[in-house]
Amino acid sequence: MLLRMSTLFLRTLREDPADAEVPSHKLLVRAGYVRRVAPGIYSWLPLGKIVLENVARVVREEMNRIGGQEVLFPALLPREYYEATGRWTEYGDTLFRLKDRKGSDYLLGPTHEEMFTDMVKGEYSSYKDYPVTLYQIQTKYRDEARPRAGILRGREFVMKDSYSFDLDDDGLKHSYEQHREAYIRIFDRLGIDYRICFAMSGAMGGSASEEFLAPCPTGEDTFVACHNCGYAANAEAVTTPAPPTVTAEQPALRVLDTPDTPTIESLVEYVNEHHGLGITAADTLKNIVVKVRTPGSDKAEVLVIGVPGDREVDFKRLEAALTPGVPEIFEAEDFVRNPGLVRGYIGPQVLASLGLTYLVDPRVVAGSAWITGANEPGKHAAHVVAGRDFQPAGTIDVAEIRAGDSCPRCAHPLSIDRGIEIGHIFQLGRKYADAAGLDALGPDGKPIRVTMGSYGVGVSRAVAVMVEQRHDALGVAWPREIAPADVHIVGTGKENQIEVATQIAEELEARGLRVLVDDRPGVSPGVKFKDSELLGMPTVLIVGRGLAQGVVELRDRATGVKEEIPLAEAVERVFAACRA
Ligand code: ATP
Ligand code: MG
């Protein structure tokens, strides 16, 4: 492959796009890899398309290596498949829904569990047919609430999704392990730094679901890590260990005058000063009201959540805990409609009589005593005891996780970082097989319900993640396997230099390298150097002023190391650098 910049469909930009906040968005647009069409919707230009295909090739090779077979589904799908599993409704506002000319409902596929299940059901019948793993690399559509950061979170994006079909739990575990290993190889080859994090907890079992998160300051996911036992988990999946229940007798509930203390901070300060208490925010019980909307209905239920006053409710943990329900802010007018809820002074004592559901943080154990609202303006109550003065309907683990919190496995302090989800592996079990009635006929003539796994890689997102992790102030530094070319040969100045640069490029192409040559006449050396840094090929060869003395310059984009080498050795040296 030889790309000539004199004819390449490429225009680089000197300015960052106005709507770009993160480095990958700025650089991919400036370097002419992608162009925005609408929020979260991007076109790929020639160099970008090569990068995207290179990522897809790596993913394909590793999926094939574990025996995956590639198929391709349409993105435009009829409602009925998603109706059968409830996802037509449950997917909520994230699903792109549309109608055809006859008025029939369609959707643009956000993920394809239903379709794969149906396909396997149509083709396979006997236990002898299984196991099987199918995958596709295809465009997905999700009307994301917060499309941001360019192709990191698109509304249209490319995903590899695969699905395993097994006859029993051991088979599913094996398929899951194979995917896990394939993902490790994929992300290693992409040169991405990542952590494998638990993504689900409790009922699903320890290893049922893991996310591959790329640590990155711009990431939207928060994950914890324990440097003692190696535990790592998405913050959404972290479980808070419940302290032991309190059996000691507690003093009777006492109402305190606390004028003008609608915040935890003002409350703590007031009661310590005026009531002689020595409390901290952690001794108070903060009650947060949210509305929970069920997708597909206009009805929103009121939910009150009790958390220790030194912690906020983490909205992403809340979203994950309530899914498919969608939490919404409880607005001023909602307070007007619920006069029993006294803003700033809510206590759980009255919630049952108001008919409201009350869920508490796992730290609010039976017998524990709290300072909380007294449901009257300017009043709080002390010695409000869980199980005595109020009865929570259950627990909800949605308080923020902090660095230093105890590891749920070994109790060591956890560290916290941000990351971007690049892959997700998930033991689905029989949910979709149940909905579709996917059975294999067993050796004894009895049906066996098939069990499934689902596994995703963000192919287009991976392109952005590589840039997030591999860039400097000047531009991108692609890993070689993914770069649009192995080497960028820059001919500066006079025609002679461009001619020599082109000759070297042709020789290297003949030896099997993928080459980009800057053969643009009349473009200044400064502009060409800047473009080579912005575009980010791993190896750069400058054919410039030194040519008169028979030397050219070899540069390594990632390390910045530059070396003058004799022209006669240029082909050999570049070849060696690219095949190292
Ligand atoms: P996120 O939490 O980031 O929205 P998700 O949990 O919705 O991701 P999955 O449904 O598991 O993601 O999709 C599989 C993979 O597809 C993800 O690991 C991610 O790499 C990629 N992906 C998901 N949503 C997007 C998007 N809007 N844009 C680009 N890639 C995405
Ligand atoms: Mg998502």
| Structural domains of the chain, ranges and CATH numbers in brackets | 16-238+416-468 (3.30.930.10), 254-395 (3.90.960.10), 487-579 (3.40.50.800)
Put the strands of the sheet holding 539-543 in their side by side order: 2-4, 515-518, 487-491, 539-543, 551-556, 562-566
Tokens of 429: 């079990």
Q: Judge whether 34 and 17 are in contact, CB under 8 Å.
A: no
Residue 87 Rama label (left phi>0; alpha psi -120 to 50; beta): alpha
Per-residue pLDDT at 495 = 73
Percentages of the chain per state (helix, strand, coil), in multiples of 5: 30, 30, 40
Query: Does residue 153 line the site of ligand 1, with CB under 6 A?
Result: yes
Question: The tokens 């896990």 sit on which residue?
Answer: 180
**Cα dist. 31→18, 26, 44, 507 in Å?**
15, 8, 12, 26
Query: Does residue 147 line the site of ligand 1, with CB under 6 A?
Result: no
Length of the chain: 580
Question: The tokens 């941001």 sit on which residue?
Answer: 148
Question: How remote is the CA of residue 420 from the centroid of ligand 1, in Å?
Answer: 9
> CA 38, CA 76: separation in Å to the nearest integer?
20
Query: Does residue 461 line the site of ligand 1, with CB under 6 A?
Result: yes
Question: The tokens 């903060």 sit on which residue?
Answer: 286
Query: Does residue 319 line the site of ligand 1, with CB under 6 A?
Result: no
**Residue whose C-alpha is closest to residue 498's, from 544, 466, 429, 558:** 544
Residue 441 Rama label (left phi>0; alpha psi -120 to 50; beta): beta
Longest distance between any two alpha carbons in the chain, whole Å:
94
**Cα dist. 505→44, 482, 498, 513 in Å?**
25, 19, 10, 9
> CA 483, CA 562: separation in Å to the nearest integer?
20
Name the pairing type of β-strands 232-234 and 369-376: unpaired
Percent of the chain with pLDDT over 70: 99
The amino acid sitting at 322 is L
> CA 207, CA 219: separation in Å to the nearest integer?
23
Per-residue pLDDT at 42 = 97
Question: How remote is the CA of residue 421 from the centroid of ligand 1, in Å?
Answer: 7
> CA 146, CA 153: separation in Å to the nearest integer?
8
Closest C-alpha residue for ligand 1 atom 26 = 153
Query: Which letter, b or e, does each residue of 10-27 get, where b requires 16 or more Cβ atoms within 10 Å of its Cβ?
Result: bebeeeeeeebebbbbbb
Closest C-alpha residue for ligand 1 atom 14 = 456
Whether cis (ω within 30° of 0) applies to the bond prior to 217 is no
State the closest ligand 1 atom to the C-alpha of 144, by its place in the atom list counted from 1: 27
Per-residue pLDDT at 324 = 82
Question: How remote is the CA of residue 206 from the centroid of ligand 1, in Å?
Answer: 21
Name the pairing type of β-strands 394-395 and 357-360: parallel
Residue-by-residue pLDDT tens, the chain, 580 positions: 999 999 999 999 999 998 898 999 999 999 999 999 999 999 999 999 999 999 999 999 999 999 999 999 999 999 999 999 999 998 999 999 999 999 999 999 999 999 999 999 999 999 999 999 999 999 999 999 988 789 999 999 999 999 999 999 999 999 999 999 999 999 999 999 999 999 974 444 445 899 999 999 999 999 999 999 999 999 999 988 899 999 989 999 999 999 999 999 999 999 999 999 899 999 999 999 999 998 888 888 999 999 999 999 999 999 989 988 889 999 999 999 999 999 999 999 999 999 999 999 999 999 999 999 999 999 999 999 999 999 999 999 999 999 999 998 999 999 999 999 999 999 999 989 999 999 999 999 999 999 999 999 999 999 999 999 999 999 999 999 999 999 999 999 877 999 999 999 999 999 999 999 999 999 999 999 999 999 999 999 999 999 999 999 999 999 999 999 999 999 999 999 999 8
Question: How remote is the CA of residue 458 from the centroid of ligand 2, in Å?
Answer: 11
Q: Judge whether 337 and 306 are in contact, CB under 8 Å.
A: no
> CA 158, CA 464: separation in Å to the nearest integer?
12
H-run or E-run covering 513? none
> CA 46, CA 532: separation in Å to the nearest integer?
16
> CA 125, CA 135: separation in Å to the nearest integer?
20
User: pLDDT tens-digit profile of 169-207?
Assistant: 999 999 999 999 999 999 999 999 999 999 974 444 445
Tokens of 538: 């791993």
Closest C-alpha residue for ligand 1 atom 1 = 421
Q: Judge whether 216 and 421 are in contact, CB under 8 Å.
A: no
**Cα dist. 49→55, 71, 139, 158, 539 in Å?**
10, 21, 14, 12, 20
Query: Does residue 160 line the site of ligand 1, with CB under 6 A?
Result: no
- Helix axes 459-469 and 46-65, enclosed angle (nearest 10): 110
DSSP structural state of residue 217: T
> CA 254, CA 264: separation in Å to the nearest integer?
18
Question: How remote is the CA of residue 153 from the centroid of ligand 2, in Å?
Answer: 8
DSSP string, 312-333: PBPHHHHHHHHTTSEEEE--HH
Q: Which of 421, 422, 455, 459 to mutate to test the pocket of ligand 1 (most atoms within 8 A of CB)?
A: 421
Per-residue pLDDT at 146 = 86
Per-residue pLDDT at 207 = 54
DSSP structural state of residue 203: G
Beta-sheet strands, E only, within 235-281: 254-257
Query: Does residue 327 line the site of ligand 1, with CB under 6 A?
Result: no
